[in-house]
Amino acid sequence: MMRARMDRPRRRGGGALLALAALLLAGALAGCVKPMVKVDDFAQVGANDVLMVGRVELVPPLKPGEQDIKLSGPYNDENQYFFFINNKAVAVADNPDKTPYDDILMEKFGNTFYVKNARRPVHFTVSFLYLTLTRQKMERVWLPGGLVVGVQPGDRAVYMGTIRYHRNEFFDLSKVEVVDEFDRERKAFAEKFGTATPLVRRLARPSGG
Amino acid sequence: MRKHLSAVLCAGLALALLGCSGAVVPRPQEPQESIVFGHIDMSDAPVNLQWVSIRQYAPPSEAPYWSAGVADGNYWQWYLKPGSYGVDSFGGSGFNSNYSFNMPRQSKALRLVIQKPGIYFLGSYKYKPVKTGFFEPGKYDLEESDKPTEAEVLHDLLKLVKGTPVEPKLQARLKEVQ
């Protein structure tokens, strides 16, 4: 028997409430937990930090018209994902919204991210993207994580791979893989930060959490 | 006054929704168009089923929303071309509120991929409320149901489409599934 559970039956005309909810979410992202700091200069990486390098991709990429993002704000860009990051393995809640997280990684699909984190294993728990974010409607899709990057003592810059989600128009996933594009990323890393600090390959793997 | 205005707006919305579909079968089908229909039992919901919105996910469209005709829990669309579709939302008007129930994109229910023109039954589902905490947002389940069957829904639809171009197609389909 097919059974589907849906959230938020809501009364129509609740646009103001929805906008408020979206603002509160944005506020939560901005206030309670700061998004992971993007690094442009290696001097930003503290003595106890590690620079994380990686990428998240959708295959096929989002097409024009697949998203309807009309609320303005720093967190409401198109083609953007939000990855829940944890210091330890965390199970995703039935309602993924309620999954605890220590940090949020925000980046655009297909872009290489350079973010700093405390030097310890980094868990990529679960992620989402907005399909619709308007005054009338908020629709998200969730993408699995359950990956850990085994950062080691002494690591200063770590390459974790490309998390590649193969999906259809309903966002059913046919495959999730971690792709090793180390050679390309090492070259880009050296162009951005120089060659004084080596980029170490530590591909994300299932965390078993 | 506010409630009166609300009632007027509700009536206007209902008329607008009826107006969207106009006659039950506003025009003959084109050869590549498919009939899609289904049933949602809303007897445990706060409102009856009064509207269903179907969204076209592929191919991309600047007008992806298709308003379905609705009667007695049955809903239908006569004009869907090959592509990927899903029920985006459904709902109705209560005493002083309009309810909209959104279907998540990743739900496996109430969706289909039309590869060739035909007649497609999206199934029968029953709305089930889910108890949540006082401060939690509401939830609901849609459970697949054996009743009404495709034949029973077709039987109901045939009463609505007498003398229209879709009648012989639905009759033919009824013979297949009976």
Domain residue ranges in chain B:
2-177
- pLDDT of B22-67, one tens digit each? 578 878 889 999 999 999 999 999 999 999 999 999 998 889 999 9
Residue A12 has pLDDT above 50, yes or no: no
Best-predicted range by mean pLDDT (A127-141, A169-183, B96-110):
A169-183
Interface test with A, best of B41, B47, B107, B111 (most A CBs within 10 A): B107
CB A119 within 8 A of CB A155: yes
Range of the domain at A95: 15-206
Q: Is residue A1 part of a domain?
A: no
Q: Is residue A7 part of a domain?
A: no
Contact B137 A7 (CB under 8 A): yes
Long-range contacts of B23-28 (CB under 8 A, 24+ apart): B24/B69, B24/B160, B24/B161, B24/B164, B25/B78, B25/B161, B25/B164, B25/B165, B25/B166, B28/B165
Global pTM? 0.82
**Those residues with Cβ within 8 angstroms of residue B133's Cβ, 6 or more apart along the chain or in another chain:** none
Q: Is residue A10 part of a domain?
A: no
The pair of structure tokens assigned to B150 is: 């495709």
Q: Is residue A131 part of a domain?
A: yes
- pLDDT of A110-163, one tens digit each? 999 999 999 999 999 999 999 989 888 888 999 999 999 999 999 999 999 999
Q: How far is A124 from chain B (nearest CA, A)?
A: 21
Contact B137 A13 (CB under 8 A): no
Asked if the C-beta of A174 comes within 8 angstroms of chain B's C-beta atoms, the answer is no
Q: Is residue A5 part of a domain?
A: no
Asked if the C-beta of A109 comes within 8 angstroms of chain B's C-beta atoms, the answer is no
Q: How far is A173 from chain B (nearest CA, A)?
A: 10
Q: Around B21, how many Cα atoms within 13 Å sit in the side-chain half-sphere? A: 25
Number of Cβ within 10 Å of residue B41's Cβ equals 18
- Residue B16, SS3? helix
Q: Which is more confident, B110 or A137?
A: B110
Closest CA to B139 of A5, A93, A95, A3: A5
CB A131 within 8 A of CB B105: yes
Contact B101 A5 (CB under 8 A): no
- Overall domain count for chain A: 1
A-chain residues near B135 (CB < 8 A):
none
